[in-house]
Amino acid sequence: MKTKDIFDVFGIAPSTLSDWSKEDNKKHTLAQLLKNMSMDDVKDILSKEQNSRSKPVMLLSTVNCSIGNKKKHFTLTGLKNLFYKKEPLDVYDKYALKTIKNEALEEEIVDFTNYYRISPKRVETVLASL
């Protein structure tokens, strides 16, 4: 890429890029990378939809907000494990599942199950068993 392209895309001033290009600068490698990339590659990278999957904390919040004892609050992993638990559910497990069933928005459940790749059929079965 040309210096002008780097400025237009990333906002890196030509003087800054010049400083970075000096071999003793810590960002020398970055400057070289930017200069050697094609504009088409940069456009491709920037146009790709970001696949950052943020953790679905809304369902966790819904469940934990209804549990008064903070020592009994669930973690995301603990909540996920409720859908795979083989041993009998304790009082808090049942309460969490009832809260999900009665208070959680469908979007919260879908986001959670998609993130952890939990089958909708499994969720339906677990919630129906209460």
What CA–CA distance (Å, rounded) separates 74 from 11? 44
Percentage, residues of the chain above pLDDT 90: 79
Q: Report domain extents, the chain.
A: 3-47, 57-129
Token digits of residue 36: 């050697």
Token digits of residue 46: 């920037």
Give the predicted TM-score (pTM) of the model. Answer: 0.58
At 54-91, the pLDDT tens digits run 788 999 999 999 998 999 999 999 999 999 998 999 99
**Alpha carbon 124 to chain centroid, angstroms:** 24
Token digits of residue 3: 């210096």
What CA–CA distance (Å, rounded) separates 83 from 74? 13
Nearest to 124 by CA among 90, 104, 101, 105: 101
